[in-house]
Amino acid sequence: MSAQDTPTGNGAAPTGPSFTVEKLYIKDVSFEAPGTPQVFNEQGQPQLQMNLNQSVQRLSDEAYEVVLGVTLTCTIADKTAYLAEVKQAGVFGLSGFDEVTLDVMLGTHCPNALYPYARQTISDLITAGGFPPFLLQPINFEALFAEGARQRAAQAGGDDLAGAQTAGNA
Q: Specify the pTM.
A: 0.80
pLDDT band at 153 (very low <50, low <70, confident <90, very high): confident
Q: How far is CA 5 from the centre of its chain?
A: 43
pLDDT band at 165 (very low <50, low <70, confident <90, very high): very low
Give me the percent of the chain exceeding a pLDDT of 90: 71
User: What are the distances in angstroms from CA 63 to CA 19, 117, 136?
Assistant: 10, 20, 29
Q: How does pLDDT run across 58-117, given as a tens digit for each residue?
A: 999 999 999 999 999 999 988 999 999 999 999 999 999 999 999 999 999 999 999 999
Beta strand spans in the chain (E) = 18-32, 47-58, 63-76, 79-95
CA-to-CA distance for 36 and 14, rounded, in angstroms? 56
pLDDT of residue 169 exceeding 60, the answer is no
What pLDDT sits at residue 170?
A: 35
User: What are the distances in angstroms from CA 145 to CA 77, 107, 150, 167?
Assistant: 34, 6, 9, 24
pLDDT band at 8 (very low <50, low <70, confident <90, very high): very low
Query: Is 131 within 8 Å of 81 (Cβ atoms)?
Result: yes
CA-to-CA distance for 168 and 170, rounded, in angstroms? 6
- Count other Cβ atoms within 10 Å, centred on residue 59: 12
What pLDDT sits at residue 12?
A: 55
Q: How does pLDDT run across 15-41, given as a tens digit for each residue?
A: 789 999 999 999 999 999 998 999 998
Task: Residues 18-132: name the CATH superfamily.
Answer: SecB-like (3.10.420.10)
For the segment 153-161, the average pLDDT, to the nearest whole number, is 69
